[in-house]
């Protein structure tokens, strides 16, 4: 049992310059799971200081992705809280107040070096043997009078942090990487306020973390090089530094840092490909953390009482999409039919639309090659994207109007789905009505190899099915067909495979008699008739 500590406060601090990516989502999950495990507070802060690239739309996308994943925040946008506002652009006064204190204590100084001067010095230093070692401190030694008069004269300037001379190594204990030490000489006097009055990332982040009482900063290790600089700011401001936990990288299957090159990287792309939020959270949690080294299925409630920083790995982890598919399949199988219907609604609607598009009657369609199948599977399919809006709305409404009908599809495919976006291809046949699209290979193999036998098998099944009264139980219907087949000396397989092809179009399909129950006897008979007319006549 992990001892709780309600004083713990963590934050997730995305910059709304793009969508919520896999790496960001994992950072959010770790902060959230840690806060929940400890009984602490999870803060969401939007770091929108990059005014060129930050957009309100991106903020909304991030909030939506967080909500979809189920990562509820205790303080932040929409939730409010006593440490607000939770957008950096609304916190400028707090940064100014901190800078004013640094000015008073002499820990910050104005720098009038122009960009051209700095660029020239940099180029010169880079060409020399020692290389560029950061700002050379020209303005650090200006007299207070000179600095004041140049400011009063309106000369453009930035404010820099004066790194104390003779400062020993900057040290901290990272909860993941252990003891860290950086030479202070390597840190030049960083800019904290720019010429236009805006504040730099390192300064704003430290002020916010301190003013929001953040006790643990859990973030990607791409920020590790910022941390010693931030430590200097904590010191200069007289703030207590939090505990840092830097998270190892997430790599693609080729061993390179996960990026667009590897395919989908934003959370919502995964949503649109039919991954369940619970599976995503479980999977991402394991990219760098483990419960006990073995357990792979870790539901949210377990995660939220077991997340310890001590169990975060130092080693980079590999994003294995096959494992994600497997895990998603496990979560799909463990859902109940109602939850599945709700989560699968867009794809069920898509299945209905695709199914209704099959041409009247029966026709033989070419069997897709393996490459075509793979291409279709890889193409992230956003349900409804290419359909007309009215048809789409009608299809969605049908799912909510006939929940029982759609719910009954769950046992047909629960064992066979890795992702919800496989639903249209797997279930469209239920929506063909009296029509049928016959897979070429199945027709050749099952119907035409011994056409005479297939025709009599279909005739036998047709007769039995036509004689069924009302809503027959699938097992009873199957038994009735089998007995009739036996009487005629046809084995079960020879009897039922033709029926499968005639009804579902393919020799591989979800359970046949359960399907027939959903399709209904009249449409089933029409499909058998259509198939016979098209290929056995
Ligand atoms: N806003 C920063 C980012 O999106 C995070 C800053 C931090 O976690 O300290 O990378």
At 101-123, the pLDDT tens digits run 999 999 999 999 999 999 999 99
Reference 263, options 370, 377, 426; nearest CA is 377
Q: What is the 3-state secondary structure (H, E, C) of 128-176?
A: CCCCCCCCCCHHHHCCHHHHHHHHHCCCCCEEEECCCCCCCCEEEEECC
Indicate if the pLDDT at residue 485 is higher than 80. yes
Lowest mean pLDDT among 183-187, 381-385, 432-436: 381-385
Reference 281, options 249, 258, 304; nearest CA is 304
Indicate if the pLDDT at residue 328 is higher than 80. yes
State how far the Cα of 471 lies from the Cα of 477, in Å rounded to an integer. Answer: 10
Interval between CA 15 and ligand 1 midpoint (Å): 7
Indicate if the pLDDT at residue 370 is higher than 90. no
Q: Determine the residue of 30, 206, 219 to mutate for testing ligand 1's pocket, defined as the one with the most ligand atoms within 8 A of the Cβ atom.
A: 219
Q: Say yes or no: CB of residue 13 within 6 Å of ligand 1.
A: yes
Interval between CA 77 and ligand 1 midpoint (Å): 16
Q: Say yes or no: CB of residue 219 within 6 Å of ligand 1.
A: yes
Report the greatest alpha carbon distance in the chain: 111
pLDDT confidence bin for 380, thresholds 50/70/90: very low
Q: What is the pLDDT of residues 150-179, one digit of tens each?
A: 999 999 999 999 999 999 999 999 999 999
Residue 219 alpha carbon, nearest atom of ligand 1: 8
Q: What is the pLDDT of residues 66-103, one digit of tens each?
A: 999 999 999 999 999 999 999 999 999 999 999 999 99
Cα distances (angstroms) measured from residue 200 to each of 70, 253, 411: 32, 35, 55
Interval between CA 24 and ligand 1 midpoint (Å): 9
In this structure, what DSSP letter does residue 76 have? B
Reference 297, options 326, 263, 254; nearest CA is 326
In 136-295, at which residue ranges do the beta strands (DSSP E only) sit? 158-161, 170-174, 178-182, 191-193, 216-220, 243-247, 250-251
State how far the Cα of 20 lies from the Cα of 13, in Å rounded to an integer. Answer: 11
State how far the Cα of 436 lies from the Cα of 126, in Å rounded to an integer. Answer: 72
Residue 222 alpha carbon, nearest atom of ligand 1: 10
Interval between CA 181 and ligand 1 midpoint (Å): 21
Cis peptide before 516 (omega within 30 of 0): no
* CB-side neighbour CA atoms (13 Å) of 368: 11
Q: Are strands 362-365 and 41-44 parallel, antiparallel or unpaired?
A: unpaired
Q: What's the pTM value of the predicted model, to 2 decimals?
A: 0.93
Indicate if the pLDDT at residue 511 is higher than 80. yes
Q: What is the pLDDT of residues 438-458, one digit of tens each?
A: 999 999 999 999 999 999 999
Q: Which two tokens stand for residue 13?
A: 């601090």
State how far the Cα of 486 lies from the Cα of 476, in Å rounded to an integer. Answer: 15
Q: What is the pLDDT of residues 204-233, one digit of tens each?
A: 999 999 999 999 999 999 999 999 999 999
Q: Contact at 8 Å (CB) between 51 and 89? A: yes
For residues 53-67, average pLDDT: 97
Interval between CA 298 and ligand 1 midpoint (Å): 27
Reference 132, options 79, 77, 188; nearest CA is 188
Residue 12 alpha carbon, nearest atom of ligand 1: 8
Reference 250, options 21, 23, 33; nearest CA is 23
């Amino acid at each position: 049992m992990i001892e709780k500590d309600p004083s713990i406060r963590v934050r997730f601090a995305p910059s709304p310059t793009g969508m919520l990516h896999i790496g960001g989502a994992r950072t959010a999950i770790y902060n959230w799971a840690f806060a929940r495990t400890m009984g602490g507070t999870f803060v969401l802060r939007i770091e929108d200081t990059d005014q060129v690239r930050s957009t309100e739309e991106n903020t909304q996308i991030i909030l939506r992705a967080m909500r979809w994943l189920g990562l509820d925040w205790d303080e932040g946008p929409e939730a409010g809280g006593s440490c607000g506002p939770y957008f950096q652009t609304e916190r400028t006064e707090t940064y100014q107040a901190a800078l004013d204190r640094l000015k008073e204590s002499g820990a910050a100084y104005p720098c009038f070096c122009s960009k051209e001067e700095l660029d020239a010095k940099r180029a010169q230093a880079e060409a020399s043997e020692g290389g560029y070692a950061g700002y050379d401190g020209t303005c650090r030694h200006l007299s207070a009078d000179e600095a004041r008069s140049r400011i009063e004269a309106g000369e453009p300037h930035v404010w820099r942090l004066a790194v104390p001379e003779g400062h020993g190594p900057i040290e901290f204990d990272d909860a993941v990487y252990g003891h860290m030490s950086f030479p202070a000489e390597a840190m030049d006097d960083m800019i904290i306020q720019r010429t236009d009055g805006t504040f730099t990332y390192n300064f704003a982040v430290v002020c916010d973390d301190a003013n929001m009482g953040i006790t643990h900063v859990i973030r990607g290790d791409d920020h590790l090089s910022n941390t010693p600089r931030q430590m200097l700011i904590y010191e200069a401001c007289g703030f207590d530094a939090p505990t840092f936990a830097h998270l190892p990288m997430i790599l693609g299957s080729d061993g390179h840092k996960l990026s667009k090159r590897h395919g989908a990287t934003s959370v919502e792309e995964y949503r649109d490909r039919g991954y369940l939020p619970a599976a995503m959270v479980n999977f991402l949690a394991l990219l760098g953390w483990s419960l006990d080294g073995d357990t792979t299925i870790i539901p949210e409630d377990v995660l939220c009482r077991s997340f310890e920083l001590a169990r975060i790995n130092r080693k980079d982890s590999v994003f294995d999409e096959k494992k994600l598919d497997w895990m998603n399949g496990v979560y799909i199988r463990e859902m109940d039919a109602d939850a599945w219907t709700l989560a699968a609604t867009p794809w069920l609607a898509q299945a209905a639309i695709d199914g209704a598009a099959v041409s009247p009657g029966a026709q033989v369609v070419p069997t897709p090659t393996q490459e075509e199948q793979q291409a279709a599977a890889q193409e992230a399919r956003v349900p409804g994207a290419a359909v007309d809006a009215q048809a789409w709305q009608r299809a969605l409404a049908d799912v909510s109007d006939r929940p029982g009908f759609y719910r009954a599809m769950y046992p047909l495919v629960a064992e066979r789905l890795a992702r919800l976006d496989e639903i249209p291809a797997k279930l469209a046949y239920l929506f063909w009505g009296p029509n049928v699209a016959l897979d070429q290979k199945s027709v050749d193999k099952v119907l035409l190899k011994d056409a005479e036998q297939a025709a009599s098998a279909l005739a036998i099944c047709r007769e039995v099915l036509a004689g069924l009264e009302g809503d027959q139980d699938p097992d009873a219907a199957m038994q009735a067909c089998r007995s009739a087949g036996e009487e005629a000396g046809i084995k079960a397989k020879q009897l039922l495979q033709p029926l499968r092809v005639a009804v579902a179009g393919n020799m591989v399909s979800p359970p046949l008699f359960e399907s027939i129950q959903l399709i209904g006897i009249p449409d089933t008979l029409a499909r058998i008739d259509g198939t016979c007319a098209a290929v056995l006549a």
